[in-house]
Amino acid sequence: MESDDQGVYVGRAAADAAADRGWLLGHFKPPGDLRHSDDVEIKWGVHPKGERRARWTGGEKRTALLVLISGRFRLEFPGRDVVLAEPGDYVVWGRGIDHSWQAEEESVVMTVRWPSIPGYAVEAAG
C-alpha cells in the first residue's frame, strides 16, 4: 500500500494478502521490500466455507501459530483435530508436526510461521 524511505510500510491486510495468496511477510517477498524476511512468515488467510488445504504438509521444519479472527476453522494434525470457534482461539505447533486444515465456516485467520523457508507452497484445491 505505502512504503517510505524511513523504513515504514503501511498496508491493509485484506488488500495486500489478496495479491500474494494471503502472505504479508516472508522469504517470498522481493529482497529490499520491508516485508521480506527469512526469519518469519505472516499470512492473513480468508477462507470460504468448505475450503481445505490441497494436501498435508510433509517434513515440517517450522513452528507455527494460527489465530482465529472470525469464523470456525479446523486444524488437522496426526491423530488429533483442533477446532477454533471463538475469535482469538489459537493453536501453536512445532517442527516435525505436519498438518492440514479446513474452513468449517467462512473464516479469517492469521498465521505466523518461523523460520521462513521455501518448499511448502501448495496450489489451491480445485
* Residue 95 burial (CB count, 10 A): 12
Residue range 32-88, pLDDT digits in tens: 999 999 999 999 999 999 999 999 988 889 999 999 999 999 999 999 999 999 999
Rounded to whole angstroms, the Cα distance separating 6 from 22 reads 26
Residue 124 pLDDT exceeds 90: no
Whether 40 and 25 have beta carbons less than 8 Å apart is answered as yes
Which of helix, strand or coil describes residue 122? Answer: coil
- ∠125-60-26 over CA atoms, to 5°? 75
Rounded to whole angstroms, the Cα distance separating 122 from 100 reads 11
Which of helix, strand or coil describes residue 80? Answer: strand
Model confidence, pTM: 0.87
